[in-house]
Amino acid sequence: MSSTATLPRGHADATKLADRAAIVTGASSGIGRGIALELAREGAKVVVADLREDAKVGKYHQTEAPPPTVEEIESAGGTALFQQTDVADERQLEYMVSRTLDEFGQLDVVVNNAGISKVGDSQQLALADYDRIIAVNMRALFVVTKYAVPHLKRSRFGRIIHIASVHAYGGGGGAAYASSKAAAVNLARDTAPELGPHGVACNVICPGYVETALQDYLTLEQIEQARRHTLLPRFGLPRDIGRAAVYLASDDAEWVTGASLVVDGGYIAGV
C-alpha cells in the first residue's frame, strides 16, 4: 500500500477548516507532510515549516520522492507557503509565527510535529546528540507555544497539537527520544489548564509505527517485530495521523483538551 498522501481535485470545497491558518513543523516529509496535506484538504491555509523543502526518501518506506508539500497543496487548489525553519533556533521560530501572520493575517492551529531520533543508551548517546534531540523534540514545543499563544487567544479556533509517540508510554527509540515524547504529553497537560479559559485547546497525538523515512534506523527484524505488535493488518500511513490532526483542529473536538490520542493500530494494546 502506498504511503504517499494525495489531495483530490476539488478539496478546496471542504469547509471543516476553511477559515483557519495553520503551522505544521517538519511538514516537508513523513507524518508532518501527511498532516499538512490533510489540513489543506479541509481548506486550511498551511505554513510548511521545515529545514528543507524536498521530502526525505527512505530505504524501507517512501522510497520515491513526492512533489514538495506546498506544490502538492497548491496544485489541488489549496493555499500554502514554505518557511525554512530550524525548530531548535528560537529566532527562526519567532519569525515563523510572524510570517504566518504577515501572509495570512491570523494563526489558528499549530502542529508541533518536527522531531528527530538517534538510537543510543546512556553510555552510547553523545551529549551533543542528546542536547539536539531535546532541543528539537521538547524545547521547540515550548518555544512555539510561547510565541503562538498570544495569537491563538485571538482566534475563535485556537488549537495546539503536539505529535509525540507511543514511546511516550515506555522506552524505545533511544534515551533522549522516549523522554522527549513523554515530555510532549505532559507539556500539553500543563498548557491545557492555562489556555482553557481562553478557549484554546492543547492536545497530543501519539502515533505507532507509521511508514515514513524516519524508520530507516530500524533493522528488518525490528520492523517485523513492530508488525507483529500492531493489531490491525497494516502499518500506519501519514494520512492516518493527518486525519487525527484534522479532528483535533476542527469544531468536532471543541470540547477536547489536555488529551492524548493514541493512533497506533492497536500497538499499545497488543504489547
Q: In the annotation, is 177 catalytic?
A: yes
Looking at the DSSP bridge assignments, the partners of residue 205 are 163, 261
- What residues contact 34, with CB distance under 8 A and at least 6 apart? 5, 237, 238, 239, 240, 241, 242
β-strand 21-25 against 201-207: which pairing, if any?
Answer: unpaired
Q: Of 177, 217, 247, 267, which residue is the catalytic one?
A: 177
Give the angle 261-263-265 at the CA atoms, nearest 5°.
145
- The packing angle between helices 175-195 and 127-134, to 10°, is 30
Distance CA(18)–CA(92), nearest Å, equals 27
Looking at the DSSP bridge assignments, the partners of residue 23 are 47, 110
Residue 204 phi, psi dihedral angles, 5° rounding: -130, 140
Q: Which residues are catalytic?
A: 177
